[in-house]
A and B are shown apart, each in its own frame.
Chain A
Amino acid sequence: MQFFRRVITVLSIAVAAAAVLRVKGKTEQATRRGGWRPMNPPRE
């Protein structure tokens, strides 16, 4: 019983750590100068 409890505890910690690593960080707006312009069709 104690073995299963340990396994479940270890797995829970591993899943929690994986979740934190997976979703951590925040998106920062990168600096960007410019914009999108319509592109002309290619020459025939």
Chain B
Amino acid sequence: MIGVVGAGVVGSRVADQLVSAGEAVMIFDDDPYRARRLAALHSRNGDARAADSLDDLHGLSSVVIAVGAPHIEMVSRLLEAGSHVVSCGDDLHDAEQLLELDARAQELGRTVVVGAAASPGLTGLLVWHLRERFDDIDEAHVAMHGTGGPDCARQHHRALSGQSMGWHDGEWLRRPGGSGRELCWFPEPVGSYDCYRSEMVDPLLLRLAMPNLQRVTARSSATRRDRFTSRLPMLTPPHAEGGMGAVRVEVRGFKGRARVVEVAGVAERVGQIAGVVAAAITLQIAGFEPGCQVLGSDHCPNNEIYQAVIGAGIRVHRFVGSL
């Protein structure tokens, strides 16, 4: 049985994917009614139950955490209880703390997957996949449009007022969020959006996954109102679910002696991407090495996860033409 923490936009997609794959799931949410409702929905097609507390998930083989940050406390508890843990978090400080659990996870022979969502998550898979087209890669640039559920929207708001991290020729560069405008093209129907630096986890995780990268940046789309109000509390409550979102990665490197640029992207609801990626990771958790892992690294079954994501209907596109 697999545990799912969170019965929101991402958690419900994770449960949907796992039940479709024939797995039994136990769902926990701070709102017990929401957990019971989701479990009842899936109990028609498979084995889905609601948990009364997080303790009920102790001892399950794997647990997916699909709620807003911080995850560190929950992950520590579940790890000590003997579970593999898949974290869909996208908060930079939380991810840094999760990565510190590496030694303990190795001791226990368990895996903690950090950043198992769209960005981070799918971005690592896309960079890994594009790497096959190069002899050597040295740059990866991520851009993201849209949000999943309300927690994701709040994180996007916080990220625009935070400090972005970028890996540049051997050192971390910190720049204010909301700066560095760049027009990024996403697969249709999303199209082009202005994207800005923001406090995203991708550079940290991509750098860990592929230490040979010399430059890694991440940007997210934002409107003028987003940027202007980023340092204020959210003026309006976030939507229950964001609309169509998109993720794109631009990878640069060498093929022979030629400098080559490849761009790949996905246009889909961000919650759906995150749910599919998290579920695919959970189903392949036995293929990971113990410790804290990030997608795209050589310690992960990237190909199996990529195939599962494609099989679940996520369509990856490659940009053909001149930028």
Contacts and interface: CB of A to CB of B under 8 A. Distances in A.
Interface of A: 19, 22-23, 25, 27, 29-30, 32-39, 41-42, 44
A33 B224 contact: no
A44 B304 CA distance: 9
Interface centre among A25, A27, A36 (most CB of B within 10 A): A36
B321 A34 contact: yes
Contacts of B321: 32-35
30 contacts: A22-B224, A22-B227, A23-B227, A25-B181, A27-B194, A32-B322, A32-B323, A33-B321, A33-B322, A34-B319, A34-B321, A34-B322, A34-B323, A35-B320, A35-B321, A36-B188, A36-B317, A36-B318, A37-B317, A37-B318, A37-B320, A38-B318, A39-B129, A39-B264, A39-B316, A39-B318, A41-B306, A42-B129, A42-B132, A44-B303
A22 B228 contact: yes
A41 B265 CA distance: 14
B187 interface: yes
A42 B317 CA distance: 13
A41 B322 CA distance: 23
Contacts of A27: 183, 194
A42 B224 contact: no
A13 to B, nearest CB: 17
Interface in B280-323: 303, 306-307, 310, 315-323
B189 to A, nearest CB: 11
B192 interface: yes
A23 B224 contact: yes
Contacts of B167: none
A22 B132 CA distance: 40
B28 interface: no
Interface centre among A23, A27, A39 (most CB of B within 10 A): A39
Contacts of A33: 321-322
B306 A32 contact: no
A14 to B, nearest CB: 14
Given A35-B319, A37-B319, 16 more contacts: A22-B224, A22-B227, A23-B227, A27-B183, A30-B192, A32-B185, A32-B321, A33-B322, A34-B323, A35-B320, A38-B317, A39-B129, A39-B264, A41-B310, A42-B303, A42-B306
